[in-house]
Amino acid sequence: MDRRRFLAGTAAIIVLPFGTASATPEAMAEAIRKVVGSAAVTEGRVKLDMPPLIENGNTVPLVVSVESPMTAADHVKAIHVFNEKNPQPNVFSARLSPLSGKATVGTRIKLGDSQKIVAIAETSDGRFWSASADVIVTLAACLEEST
């Protein structure tokens, strides 16, 4: 086997695991559609806080906050977060109520690649609001067993 063929072969082996089921921008759009249905999604009212440059994709802090008085008449019912390039487009769906008092949710997530993250909030009047963030990941969440 000459050197060129050998290199091409190893390249294929390295690329293969990453080629398996991965979310795409289309998969994310479809996942968002599943949540919002035919309703329009307006940009605004939602703030998505996460670092723009991420050194370790295994634990990425993320805070979603939505401007809302959180009263019985006007509150945030749900907050959903989606991603473009992890194996699955969904990250989490949180349910809130007037008992929450404040529409803010924080957690830590895994990111497999540099990508766009979208947060969508559903208010009690049935409308949807969104915010997005583009993040750069230098070390992706591991795809291999670490031991």
Min. distance of Cβ 110 from other proteins in angstroms?
Answer: 5
Q: Which of residues 16-35 bind other proteins (CB under 8 A)?
A: 17, 20-21
Of residues 42 and 101, the one with the C-beta less far from other proteins: 101
Tokens of 57: 């994709």
Of residues 100 and 114, the one with the C-beta less far from other proteins: 100
Of residues 57 and 129, the one with the C-beta less far from other proteins: 57
d(CA 45, CA 16): 41
By CB under 8 A, is residue 73 in contact with other proteins?
Answer: no
Ramachandran class of 116: left when φ > 0, alpha when ψ lies in -120 to 50, beta otherwise: beta
By CB under 8 A, is residue 99 in contact with other proteins?
Answer: yes
Ramachandran class of 49: left when φ > 0, alpha when ψ lies in -120 to 50, beta otherwise: beta
Cβ atoms within 10 Å, residue 78: 16
- Member of 35, 47, 77, 90 binding other proteins (CB under 8 A): 90
- Member of 11, 59, 69, 139 binding other proteins (CB under 8 A): 59
Collect all residues with Cβ–Cβ distance below 8 Å to 138 and sequence separation of at least 6: 53, 54, 55
The answer to whether the CB of 45 falls within 8 A of the CB of 121 is: yes
Of residues 25 and 101, the one with the C-beta less far from other proteins: 101
By CB under 8 A, is residue 125 in contact with other proteins?
Answer: no
Binding residues vs other proteins (CB under 8 A)? 17, 20-21, 58-60, 63, 83, 86-88, 90-111, 142-145, 147
